[in-house]
Structure 1
């Protein structure tokens, strides 16, 4: 389990997170949604230990996250960042294999090649194994980074907009894998902009706005027209598709026809 309590983050003179609480349990996928600047990526950075809050604390597996050494933390949580940050010409296979570094010289290292190969298959990058990372498209880089996070085999998986550069097929595939990993017992947190994707795959959705949590709950509980219209400052319609909410914006042409 990963738990954040009373998280307050200020960057310069801007309050980015203001008293945020969030708990993610093993076996569930929680989506962080909200408008630009709501604090989604900052909250994910706090959960990862990459952003230190001014006040509040994160507990990972019952211990303060700040008490973990770097390698020990890497054995507990894997992170896929929105910006990939690899400028050197590593092969895709090598990038995915980097996910195994926390397990170097441990009994789990004997499975490195098997785990790396499986992660590449699950993310549809095995055919790119010999390509160098900088030559990949944005979507291919995102899938490679997702494979690296999977190969790390941690009980907590933190994903920052993993579908942003992907086509529809790969969006569905990535979130399908994230959903499967959660079903295997992992605690998964994913930042998403697509509210309908969040509704389709998340057990719970955390809606952030101006650094505060506006609602946390099952998709059908929190994805309401009134709340989303207020948070995003744009009217929406929430439709039901086989029991799953689908969120669509109200467009000027539609309002004129009404």
Structure 2
């Protein structure tokens, strides 16, 4: 069944968030459906991470409502909520020197003392392999690079095995290979029935991996829909206040910022300076 014909896993209605008198989100309506990757894009300060925080239930909106599986997200008990959705935050903060394997194991905490706990070892091993962190299992988390920490945290999210995944800039610290790998896994999760929400800055990645894109600007939804309908040069130029071209390459849309031509490198001037003193000729037979 197409995702558009499935009941939403998360629903936001007329969501507003006001902080210190400033409207961060204003009247946001959004459905997150099982079986799809929904990507949130927009310039800095558009409200992407704030909206994700509201969807996770970690941030209470000033107005409007959010429902998970048809229930107000604020009414769901924390352990039950942790079995319904997994969250990858922008910053990977751990106060203690856990090993990477221990961080991934944290994803299984919501399933402690349930029949699902019998699968812990297999689920953890699979999550580590999919995130390409198996070889990091015994390393101390704080000693890992930023990209390695991000992938270990992504493995934790996978190990949590929830029907909803909420990922805040999962590719920000990653090299090209792992950016593509993480988003392929996100697509695989959606293909298996999960509802996946991803915050991205790279518009070309959004075009390549999203089923739907939500463009945010100044706390409002400007457009939601398939990438080819939403990621237009006109809308993106307006929202980002910078001209862009949207081209097609190998069957995918690519968003390219319009740049001024680069000035050619100056040609070195090899003309002798008439004001400089000539170098004295060297005597081929210096006196001894």
Q: What TM-score does the superposition give when structure 1 sets the normalisation length?
A: 0.97
Residue matched to 1:131: 139
Task: Return the match for 1:77 from 65, 85, 91.
Answer: 85
Q: Tell me how far apart the structure 2 counterparts of residues 254 and 41 of structure 1 sit (CA, whole Å).
A: 35
1:13-162 pair list within 5 angstroms? 13-162=21-170
Q: Per-residue deviation at 1:199?
A: 0.5
Indicate the SS of the match to 2:64: strand
How far apart, CA to CA, are the structure 1 residues paired with 2:218 and 2:262? 29
Q: Distance in 2 between matches of 1:186 and 1:254?
A: 45
How far the C-alpha of 1:225 sits from its partner, in A, is 0.6
In structure 1, the residue matched to 2:195 is 187
CA distance, structure 2, for counterparts of residue 253 and residue 15 of structure 1: 39
**Residue 220 of structure 1 contacts residue 244 of structure 1 at CA under 8 Å; is this kept in 2?**
no
* Counterpart pick for 1:225 among 233, 243, 258: 233
Higher relative contact order (CA 8 A, sep 6+): 1
Give a deviation string over 1:178-217, Cα, whole Å, max 9, x none.
0000000000000000000000000000000000000000
Secondary structure (helix, strand or coil) at the match of 1:253 reads: coil
From 187, 197, 207, give the equivalent of 2:215.
207
Gaps of at least 5 residues in structure 2 are 1-8, 264-288
Partners of 1:233 and 1:31 in 2: CA distance:
20
The structural deviation recorded for 1:64 is: 1.0
Note the C-alpha offset of 1:10: 0.7
Offset at 1:243? 3.1
- Stretches of 4+ aligned residues off by more than 2 angstroms: none
Tell me the TM-score normalized by structure 2: 0.87
Deviation string, structure 1 residues 87-132 (Cα, Å, up to 9, x no partner): 2100000000000000000000000011001000000000000001
Q: Give, in whole Å, the separation in 1 of the partners of 2:21 and 2:151.
A: 36
Report the Cα distance in structure 1 between the residues aligned to 2:180 and 2:251, rounded to whole angstroms.
Answer: 18
Cα distance in 1, alignment partners of residues 261 and 40 from structure 2: 30
Could you tell which deviates more after superposition, 227-236 or 245-254?
Answer: 245-254
Output the CA distance in 1 between the equivalents of 2:135 and 2:121: 16
CA distance in structure 1 between the partners assigned to 2:22 and 2:250 by the alignment = 42
Question: Which one has the largest radius of gyration?
Answer: 2
CA RMSD of aligned residues (A): 1.0
For 2:98 and 2:228, how far apart are their aligned partners in 1?
Answer: 43
| Structure 2 match to 1:245 | 253
